[in-house]
Structure 1
């Protein structure tokens, strides 16, 4: 069960990772990130930050997988910080002034949070 939850977390995390990679490449999806501050293409600095966010999400997924016994075990030490960041992301997305961002990412991050908590407590 724990491994299935971890795989669900990683699969769900792939969605925002792909979106962040897309906006970093200049795809005009700014309305789905940073509160919709930039409705089209993100400015260059924000595009670079999107790459950082993609890497962070990938590391978080790796930590959840490691906690469940899948992947690199040194990342398991980052499990609870990854859970905390997931919960903070959930709050931020739920409070986003961008309605499209709220509607898309709040359910995804809520499912990620549930999966991570399941990994932590099952």
Structure 2
């Protein structure tokens, strides 16, 4: 079961990375990201943040899948580190001042946190 949780987590991460790529490309989704500070497309600084987020998300997915005994088979601490970042992300998405962001990402990140927790705790 930890394998399945890790795979589901990684699949959601792929979706979130695609979301970040759309932000980088200029999608007008500012109200549902980065605190909802931008009514349309993100400015250049926000797009850089989206790029860094996409890279971090990829590392998080690799850490969680590794913790569950899957590729890329990194050290176990990477799963715990990813779980810590996921916990912080979930909290921040629930307390964001942007109601649309909270309504979208609060539940998504909560599901991700549950999957990541199960994968790390029950993994290997």
TM-score normalised by L of structure 1: 0.94
Note the C-alpha offset of 1:25.
0.8
Counterpart for residue 55 of structure 1: 55
Counterpart for residue 26 of structure 2: 26
Counterpart for residue 8 of structure 1: 8
Provide the C-alpha distance between the structure 2 equivalents of 1:62 and 1:105, rounded to a whole number of angstroms. Answer: 21
2:74 partner SS: helix
Counterpart for residue 79 of structure 2: 79
Q: Deviations over 1:62-101 (max 9, x none)?
A: 1101111221122643111100110100110001111111
Counterpart for residue 118 of structure 2: 118
Provide the C-alpha distance between the structure 2 equivalents of 1:26 and 1:67, rounded to a whole number of angstroms. Answer: 34
Q: Which runs of 4+ in 1 moved over 2 A?
A: 74-77
Counterpart for residue 40 of structure 1: 40
Counting matched residue pairs gives 122
1:72 partner SS: coil
Q: Does the 8 A contact of 1:62 with 1:75 survive in 2? A: no
Note the C-alpha offset of 1:45.
1.4
Within-5 A mapping of 1:92-111: 92-111=92-111
Q: Which runs of 5+ in 2 are unaligned?
A: none
CA distance 1:108–1:75, shift in 2 (3 Å): farther
Q: Which runs of 5+ in 1 are unaligned?
A: none
Q: Deviations over 1:7-32 (max 9, x none)?
A: 11111222221111110111111111
1:73 partner SS: coil
- What is the CA RMSD across the aligned residues, in angstroms? 1.2
